[in-house]
C-alpha cells in the first residue's frame, strides 16, 4: 500500500466508523489521465447513497486540511460492492466458504479464470473447491480474487 493510501486510511477510518460503517479499502489510481481517490465502505445490511454522501462530506474538508495528495484528483466514496476484491488476509478469513472468482496471470489447464468456493488461504496462496475437487494457486499466479455471485 502506498503512503498516500495509508495516510487516507488513517484519516478516513474514524469518520467511517462514526457513521456506522466499516472501511473496506482506499484506492488511489490514474485512469484516462485523471487521478482518483476512492474510499470503499461496507455496512451490515448494505451501504446506501446517503452513507456515501455523509462520509464524503465529512472527509472532504479533512483531506483538504491534511493535504495528503499534492496534485488534483477526483474524490469518491462508494460501496465495496457484492463482488468486492479480496486483498488482505482478514478479507479471506471473513469470506472463507464463500464463492469466489480467481483471475490468473497465465492460463492453468487452459483457463485464466475460474469460480469455486474459497477453502483456504495461506500466506497469499489460495485454495478453492470446484466441481473437480480442490485446487491451490500460488500468490504469484493470482491477478485478482473477488467474491462471486451466482445468478
- H or E segment to which residue 134 belongs: strand 133-137
Give per-residue pLDDT as tens, 1-31. 579 999 999 999 999 999 999 999 999 999 9
Using DSSP's 3-state secondary structure scheme, residue 91 falls into helix
Produce one character per residue of 8-20: b if its CB has 16 or more CB atoms within 10 Å, e if not: beebbeebbeebe
d(Cα 103, Cα 122) in Å, to the nearest integer? 18
CA–chain centroid gap for 110, Å, is 27
Give per-residue pLDDT as tens, 116-144. 999 999 999 999 999 879 999 999 999 99
Q: In what order do the strands lie in the sheet with 34-42?
A: 22-31, 34-42, 74-79
Can you say whether residue 87 is alpha, beta or left, with left for phi > 0 and alpha for psi between -120 and 50 degrees? alpha
Cell numbers that stand for 139 in this block: 500468490
Q: What contacts 115, CB < 8 A, 6 or more positions away?
A: 99, 100, 101, 102, 130, 148, 150
Q: Is 84 a residue whose pLDDT tops 60? A: yes
pTM of this prediction? 0.82
Give per-residue pLDDT as tens, 58-67. 999 999 999 9
d(Cα 148, Cα 146) in Å, to the nearest integer? 6
Q: Which structural domains are found in the chain, ordered by start? A: 3-79 (3.30.300.70), 89-147 (2.30.30.180)
Amino acid at each position: 500500500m502506498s503512503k498516500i493510501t495509508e495516510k487516507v486510511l488513517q484519516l478516513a477510518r474514524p469518520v467511517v466508523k462514526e457513521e456506522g460503517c466499516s472501511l473496506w479499502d482506499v484506492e488511489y489510481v490514474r485512469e484516462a489521465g485523471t487521478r482518483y481517490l476512492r474510499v470503499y465502505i461496507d455496512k451490515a445490511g448494505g451501504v446506501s447513497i446517503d452513507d456515501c454522501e455523509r462520509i464524503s462530506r465529512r472527509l472532504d474538508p479533512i483531506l483538504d486540511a491534511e493535504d495528503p495528495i499534492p496534485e488534483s484528483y477526483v474524490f469518491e466514496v462508494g460501496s465495496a460492492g457484492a463482488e468486492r476484491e479480496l486483498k488482505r488476509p482478514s478479507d479471506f478469513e471473513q469470506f472463507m466458504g464463500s464463492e469466489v472468482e480467481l483471475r490468473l496471470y497465465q492460463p492453468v489447464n487452459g483457463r485464466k479464470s475460474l469460480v469455486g468456493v474459497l477453502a483456504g488461504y495461506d500466506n497469499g496462496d489460495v485454495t478453492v473447491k470446484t466441481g473437480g475437487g480442490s485446487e491451490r494457486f500460488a500468490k504469484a499466479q493470482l491477478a485478482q480474487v473477488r467474491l462471486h455471485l451466482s445468478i
